[in-house]
A and B are shown apart, each in its own frame.
Chain A
Amino acid sequence: MNRMANSFRAFSLIEVIIAVGVFAVAVVVILALLPSLSRAAADSADTLVTQSFSDSIQVELTRLATSGGFDALANRIPEMSAPLVDGMDLIAARDGRRLYSPNYLPPSVAGQLPEAERYFLTEIWRFSAPPLRFDPTAAVLPVYVRVSWPYWNPGATSATPSSVRSQHTFVVSLRR
């Protein structure tokens, strides 16, 4: 009789508390996933934009080579080193428009971006070893490109530290 009574008894307070606790943990885990999902989606969209940068970079490098000379541009671009720092900078808006060099032969003011819209930072380096090392007698300048973002968040007073930026790398070549 006692066994039967035990098998039909109600939930104890401890059981109820544990059940609610498990439920709360599950809810918190789901809630914690939301921002990371959102961030991953935005990051994926930004990566897609950077994958179409090669022509924009070539157009801008062609402008710099025409304005200042091909060899002068090649000398201006630093060689790769470990770690990769201090490349030649190009910047662009979040939708990929207006990619330009802000420091070396910048475009007219009307063609530049306000600070808050500088979302992508593109850095370029020359290769330091053959076969892609720049040869002044050759007709091609191969460069290593690293695009990182977000470079400048709207409302921020300084650029985002490079350690927390997403990045995408590829190689572009410029014809003399």
Chain B
Amino acid sequence: MKTSILLLRLLRILRETLPECISREGYEGGEGNPSRMSSLQNSRAFTLLELLVAAVITLLLAGLMLSVTTGTLTLWHRTQDNFSSSTQARLGLDLLERDLQAGVFRADGVNTWLAVDVTNTPSALLNHGWQSASFMKPTTSESQRVLPASVNGLDPVLTDARFGFSGAWLRFITTNVEANGSLPCAVAYQIARRPVSGPNNSATNPAQVRYTFFRSAVAADATFATGNDVIAAAYGSGSSAPSVARSAATLTNPPLSDALAVNVVDFCVWLYVRDSMGVLRRIFPFDNLSRSHTARDAGSASDPNRYPEVADVMLRILTNEGARLIDAMEQGNGAIGRPPEFSNDAEWWWAVVEANSRVYTRRIEIRGPTT
């Protein structure tokens, strides 16, 4: 009602003022023109009312344009974010799928052909090239949900999982389709929190620290020389500095050139075998306390040592906005304070991550020999 009255008033003002504007003559002639003075006297300036009406209309149009532009930009950013993270996820999951499908296993009872570890101790990740900070991904129970609770009586789902501080550290022997003759090679997938912009990192010019998803592949000849035991010390790393050579025989501390995706804050792996009816039975994690799986024994072995037939994998990737927020929280030196609705930093960190990330899952059938 009030709007209608305002509109009627505006129309009345326009009706009174517009005819004057339309009939007004403009500037008519130059110096020496005898009619100039009379013309100038005839052409008066805009009235305050006309200016006000013009300003109101301009403001209305500007407001409309602003809302349209803001909406378009928000949608554009969201779409860009979506494509950016889904492209990264697809690259990582495609490679992981290819490697796992071609996984190699021999039931020799000696070598560990596939291993998964979850670490909650930052010091244990130093030789993975992790860079710690006073505020980063929590190590507390907030992050330790490898097997989430059942909801409404339904089986737990991988998308609700949180794989500890480190995320899964998955390594296995696969058939390297890039090598001549498809030779076996050792590969590892893991997350590392570290600077991502190479050697120019310094105290005066610090590089951005990101949670980055790595795939490190040991060359076929180095795998042949080192062996098929992926938990052997020879595949480890004694240094906190990342490897420089891409062909380094390490499954622990990958070089920066092995990065697949940035802003990956969690990497989860569930492993299954089939029972006699073909139904999948999860062998890792067995419960919420499971932190490790080593596949080295024959099919009749106990679950913690069985080689899986199917794997579910999940990547949680931050949106650009999420990456900016986490960066500000972790490296902002307290510039952003914890909102009062969160009782601790861990709860706050995960709330921000869950609100500003996307989850990508894939089920992979491991087609290599499993006996």
Chain A positions within 8 Å of B, measured between CB atoms, are 1, 4-5, 8-10, 12-13, 23, 27, 30-31, 34, 37-38, 41, 44-45, 48, 52, 55-56, 58-59, 62-67, 95-99, 107, 109-112, 114
Contact = CB atoms under 8 A, between A and B. Distances in A.
B75 A38 contact: yes
Given A1-B29, A97-B361, A65 B153 contact: no
Interface of B: 18, 21-22, 24-29, 35, 61, 64-65, 68, 71-72, 75, 78-79, 82-83, 86, 90, 93, 97, 101, 150, 152-155, 157-159, 274, 276-280, 310, 312, 359-365
Contacts of B93: 52
Contacts of A9: 25-26
Contacts of B86: 45, 48
B280 A55 contact: no
Contact of A41 (B61, B79, B153, B312): B79
B157 A5 contact: no
Nearest to B93: A52
Contact of B29 (A4, A64, A97, A114): A4
Given A30-B68, A38-B75, A41-B78, A8 B27 contact: yes
A4 B22 contact: no
Contact of B35 (A1, A52, A95): A1
A51 to B, nearest CB: 8
Contact of A8 (B22, B26, B157, B280): B26
6 contacts: A27-B65, A52-B97, A63-B277, A63-B280, A99-B363, A110-B155
Contact of A55 (B25, B65, B274, B362): B362
B81 to A, nearest CB: 10
Contacts of B312: 97
